[in-house]
Structure 1
Amino acid sequence: MSIYTLSVFQSSTSGKRRTTLAAFVFFAFYFFCLSAYAQEPTQKSLESKRARLQLEIKKINSLLFNSKAEEKNILNEVSDLNRKIEVRSRLIRTIHQETAVLNKNIKANQTKTKELEKELLLLKEDYATMIFMSYKSKSTQSRLLFILSSESFYQGYKRFQYMTQYTEFRKDQGYEIVVQTEKLKVINDDLKVQKIEKQNLISEQKEEQSKIEIEKKQHEYLAKEITTEKKKYTTQIKKKQKEERIMDRQIEKLIRNAISTSNKKNSTEESSNFILTPEAKELTSKFTNNKGKLPWPVNNALVVRKYGKIPHESVRGITIQSNGIHIATDKKARAKAVFEGTVLAIQVSSSGMKTVYIQHGNYISLYSNLETVSLQKGDNVSLQQSIGEIHTDKVTGKTLLKFQIWRDTKTENPTDWLLRL
């Protein structure tokens, strides 16, 4: 290979590499923009999110702040205020996003209106010119003379065709003016509605902002009181955590004993998990297929404690291990089964509160803090069957259901299994 050929080959190769790299960069940028656009929230999705947050604030007010407490509990008050401030902050951010999207839509509509107005003006000018020209040559005689004065039959035919097409074009122009005028009217009407929506959102945002300022001042005042007596409140929290750990160990022990008893009955094998019969395997499969679709165990639900390791809402530096979720609900509310199954056990605590264990194959759903229970061990339970009345705390005035989901001897996040609120 000659030096000239080699240099041409190298130049061609490097050119291809540059082209390939440029193409790669272009497509990477294109897909990045496409992805960013796809992730941008729409007005409809923001409206839906705003409605959900407004509903959550209503629940917080009715289930946490309207309950009559016999005595003041600062830790509970701070916790409830934290929750309300957090939700209201999200609501304000959502309203701000919604206003920004509306602004964008209004600007786009204003631009479109200007374009349509220009198009409409040109159409009207063209149409006026055509009408004027038509008026000048409106007589049938002049049109006939125009055709008869043709030098040949072909020219006369073409003139006749032109006059026919001109008439049709006039009709089309008139129709196009009507269409464009209607489009302009629709866009202008839409603009009026959007501007009203924008004003309403701005008013709502101001109202929510003033409310959150008041709540933040209340929170700050209570937080100072907690800081002053942090040692006292830390001791209270640790005592409560110790009681919860004892309860968690009792739950785990009961489940392990139930597994051992079930396995001795159904198999000669030894296992730390449930050895399932064909019927139990089928039930497990049904339960698993309904992940994210299970109904909530109460009608009016507000999650006040999440699953897993979570920071304490009132005192900084303290972490809580939560094996399930705590759900606030209405006074006298009844817990309902989230899926069909069998009552594995009914446990009674030292305070007299009851926990019902319902088995769904190798899954178990737990319903704790029940005042009364309407089931017995071994009962078959149907979907959303009533289990019992949830206890209302006389001191705090709150009605809380403690709900857990276990797979054999391990806990799972219940919110992953339940329908999104």
Structure 2
Amino acid sequence: MKFFRAVFFLVCVFAATGVFAQSSAELKRRRDKLSDELEQLNREYEETKNSKKVSLKQLNILKAQINLREEKITNINSEVRNLDNQISESNNTVRSLQGQLDQLKKEYAGMVLFAYRNQSAYNKLMFIFAAKDFNQAYRRLKYLQQFGTYRERQAGYIQNTQRDLHVKINELDKDKREKRTLLQSQEKEKEELGKAKNNQVKVISDISKQQGSLRKQQSDVRRRLAQTNKAITAAIRREIEIAKREAEEKERARARAEAARAKAENREAVATKPTITKNSTNSEILNATPEAARLSNDFLGNRGRLPWPVANGQLVHGFGTYADADGIRNENNGYEIRTNPNSAVRVVFEGEVRSVVDVAGAYLVVVKHGEYFTSYSNLKSVSVSVGQKVSTKQTIGTVAIDPATGDATMTFTLNKGREFVNPRLWLAPD
């Protein structure tokens, strides 16, 4: 019975270890990806340092480096916590296995002593013949036979437990070494983070000496951002108006058809309650057709799993407010993403292209997904047209170089009706 309890305990421990290993593997994959992105940013930053003129591109690269290093430190903290849990589990397992091994050895020593005292055939015969009756003699004979088998099995249990103990001790040593390595890596990242922040202060100081060109660049960024938001809002407002007109026209067509049927049947027309009224919400208007309602539901069902609009990229500015080099706070309604020059921009979900416009020399594409809209701005070229149906991950254009920063960036926004929503809640984890 003790043996089976021990086996059950080990199964539970190894199962838990498997869960930790899976989580650790995912964290390691994320750490490696962050390291690759940081290496790329380091190369880009070294290239910008060769230019005597400090630009917003340097500042944006430094901001991206700081964000990635902070995320990497957080990731390492999670890995260390994971290892602490594994080390704690391993310590508990080692103590349990050591206790089981001591108990097995104690029991085995008792059996060896008993066997030693009854090692002669004479003693065994005397043990059997000293029985009260035939049944007891038979049971004693079977006991001696089973005792030998049990003794061999106990020896096997001891060997297996010793082997499991050795394995867990090795795993424990490995986890401790890995934890030391991670902590060293964490200290290095903190040191690099401090350097990046110092560089950021220096770059901002250098940029402040070029107030004229800096303010023009920042002004261009803010103006283009405002123009893009205005174009997106206008496109969505137009779509709501179109959907409302179409729904109202269908209501009128139904009423005319009912009136014609009533006249032909010589009866009064039955008045039906209109589905779209002046008090209808944007959601009701945009979901007035079964196709639109289905698409909205499918889009909502993929919340948190939508692909990114570019295959590879780093987040420059997330959803919400941020301060530029002038200290002026800007409102970002989506995700500003840095990527490689000429990278393909892809739609995140099936839908219909409803707007393609030029904003400050770059294209903006708005795609409708029922009551949801996704927008893709700062595109150098566009490969779709208004009214075209598009599928998930279909390429709709290529990224342009931002004239203000010299970076290949695009901005992705997501709306539910007229309301801008945070893409972080919808896009799959990077």
Q: Distance in 2 between matches of 1:256 and 1:48?
A: 42
**2:197 is the alignment partner of 1:216:** yes
Residues 104, 361 of structure 1: alpha-carbon distance in 2 compared, 3 angstrom cutoff = closer
Q: Distance in 2 between matches of 1:147 and 1:286?
A: 80
Secondary structure (helix, strand or coil) at the match of 2:410 reads: strand
TM-score by length of 2: 0.75
Q: Kindly indicate whether the alpha-carbon contact (under 8 Å) linking 2:218 and 2:404 is maintained by their aligned counterparts in 1.
A: no
Q: What is residue 84 of structure 1 aligned with on the other side?
A: 65
**2:289 is the alignment partner of 1:277:** yes
2:33 pairs with 55, 77, 80, which one?
A: 55
Q: Distance in 1 between matches of 2:294 and 2:191?
A: 55
Q: What is residue 303 of structure 2 aligned with on the other side?
A: 291
Q: Kindly indicate whether the alpha-carbon contact (under 8 Å) linking 2:94 and 2:165 is maintained by their aligned counterparts in 1.
A: yes
Q: Kindly indicate whether the alpha-carbon contact (under 8 Å) linking 1:326 and 1:401 is maintained by their aligned counterparts in 2.
A: yes
Please list, as runs of the form range in 1=range in 2, the aligned pairs for 1:3-152 lying within 5 A after superposition. 44-45=22-23, 48-62=26-40, 66=44, 72-103=53-84, 105-106=86-87, 108-110=89-91, 112-152=93-133
Q: Distance in 2 between matches of 1:384 and 1:112?
A: 48
- 1:372 Cα deviation from its structure 2 partner: 1.0
- 1:377 Cα deviation from its structure 2 partner: 1.9
Q: Distance in 2 between matches of 1:223 and 1:94?
A: 28
Q: Kindly indicate whether the alpha-carbon contact (under 8 Å) linking 1:354 and 1:368 is maintained by their aligned counterparts in 2.
A: yes
**2:353 is the alignment partner of 1:343:** yes
Q: Distance in 1 between matches of 2:139 and 2:427?
A: 76
Secondary structure (helix, strand or coil) at the match of 1:372 reads: strand
Q: Distance in 1 between matches of 2:418 and 2:91?
A: 62
Q: In structure 2, what residue type is equivalent to 1:311?
A: Y
Q: In structure 1, what residue type is equivalent to 2:421?
A: E
**2:227 is the alignment partner of 1:246:** yes
Residues 243, 71 of structure 1: alpha-carbon distance in 2 compared, 3 angstrom cutoff = farther
Q: Distance in 1 between matches of 2:77 and 2:385?
A: 52
Q: Kindly indicate whether the alpha-carbon contact (under 8 Å) linking 1:296 and 1:338 is maintained by their aligned counterparts in 2.
A: yes
Please list, as runs of the form range in 1=range in 2, the aligned pairs for 1:350-361 lying within 5 A after superposition. 351-361=360-370
Q: What is residue 428 of structure 2 aligned with on the other side?
A: 419
Q: What is residue 400 of structure 2 aligned with on the other side?
A: 391
**2:188 is the alignment partner of 1:207:** yes
Residues 102, 262 of structure 1: alpha-carbon distance in 2 compared, 3 angstrom cutoff = closer
- 1:234 Cα deviation from its structure 2 partner: 6.4
Q: What is residue 330 of structure 1 aligned with on the other side?
A: 340
Q: In structure 1, what residue type is equivalent to 2:122?
A: Q
- Larger mean Cα displacement after TM superposition, 177-186 or 216-225: 216-225
Q: Distance in 2 between matches of 1:128 and 1:272?
A: 82
Q: Kindly indicate whether the alpha-carbon contact (under 8 Å) linking 1:63 and 1:398 is maintained by their aligned counterparts in 2.
A: no
Q: Kindly indicate whether the alpha-carbon contact (under 8 Å) linking 2:400 and 2:408 is maintained by their aligned counterparts in 1.
A: yes
- Larger mean Cα displacement after TM superposition, 149-158 or 277-286: 149-158
1:303 pairs with 307, 315, 318, which one?
A: 315
Q: Distance in 2 between matches of 1:364 and 1:236?
A: 29
Q: What is residue 164 of structure 2 aligned with on the other side?
A: 183
Q: Distance in 2 between matches of 1:399 and 1:241?
A: 17
Q: CA offsets per residue over residues 80-130 of structure 1, 9 Å max, x none?
A: 323322331342344245335434543553454355335434533543443
Gaps of 5+ in 1: 1-40
Q: Kindly indicate whether the alpha-carbon contact (under 8 Å) linking 1:85 and 1:215 is maintained by their aligned counterparts in 2.
A: yes
Q: Distance in 1 between matches of 2:95 and 2:41?
A: 51
- 1:239 Cα deviation from its structure 2 partner: 5.6
Q: Kindly indicate whether the alpha-carbon contact (under 8 Å) linking 2:335 and 2:423 is maintained by their aligned counterparts in 1.
A: yes
Q: Distance in 1 between matches of 2:108 and 2:198?
A: 67
- 1:53 Cα deviation from its structure 2 partner: 4.4
Q: Kindly indicate whether the alpha-carbon contact (under 8 Å) linking 2:236 and 2:417 is maintained by their aligned counterparts in 1.
A: yes
Q: In structure 2, what residue type is equivalent to 1:404?
A: T
Secondary structure (helix, strand or coil) at the match of 1:303 reads: strand
Q: CA offsets per residue over residues 331-382 of structure 1, 9 Å max, x none?
A: 1111112222222121012x42111122222322211111111122222222
Q: Distance in 2 between matches of 1:360 and 1:297?
A: 15
Secondary structure (helix, strand or coil) at the match of 1:267 reads: helix
Q: Kindly indicate whether the alpha-carbon contact (under 8 Å) linking 1:63 and 1:329 is maintained by their aligned counterparts in 2.
A: no
**2:382 is the alignment partner of 1:404:** no
The count of corresponding residues between Structure 1 and Structure 2 is 378
Secondary structure (helix, strand or coil) at the match of 1:138 reads: coil
Secondary structure (helix, strand or coil) at the match of 1:188 reads: helix
Q: Kindly indicate whether the alpha-carbon contact (under 8 Å) linking 1:82 and 1:313 is maintained by their aligned counterparts in 2.
A: no
Secondary structure (helix, strand or coil) at the match of 1:332 reads: coil
1:171 pairs with 152, 155, 177, which one?
A: 152
Q: In structure 2, what residue type is equivalent to 1:292?
A: G
Q: Distance in 2 between matches of 1:405 and 1:103?
A: 40
Q: In structure 2, what residue type is equivalent to 1:291?
A: R
Q: Kindly indicate whether the alpha-carbon contact (under 8 Å) linking 2:31 and 2:76 is maintained by their aligned counterparts in 1.
A: no
Secondary structure (helix, strand or coil) at the match of 2:366 reads: strand
TM-score by length of 1: 0.76
Q: In structure 1, what residue type is equivalent to 2:90?
A: N
Secondary structure (helix, strand or coil) at the match of 2:382 reads: coil
Q: Kindly indicate whether the alpha-carbon contact (under 8 Å) linking 2:235 and 2:366 is maintained by their aligned counterparts in 1.
A: no
Q: In structure 2, what residue type is equivalent to 1:339?
A: F
Q: Distance in 2 between matches of 1:126 and 1:347?
A: 84
Q: What is residue 33 of structure 1 aligned with on the other side?
A: none
- 1:395 Cα deviation from its structure 2 partner: 6.2
Q: Distance in 1 between matches of 2:83 and 2:246?
A: 65
Residues 215, 54 of structure 1: alpha-carbon distance in 2 compared, 3 angstrom cutoff = farther
2:137 pairs with 150, 156, 160, which one?
A: 156
Q: Larger relative contact order (C-alpha < 8 A, sep ≥ 6)?
A: 1
Gaps of 5+ in 2: 1-18, 250-276
Q: Distance in 2 between matches of 1:346 and 1:191?
A: 59
Secondary structure (helix, strand or coil) at the match of 1:405 reads: strand
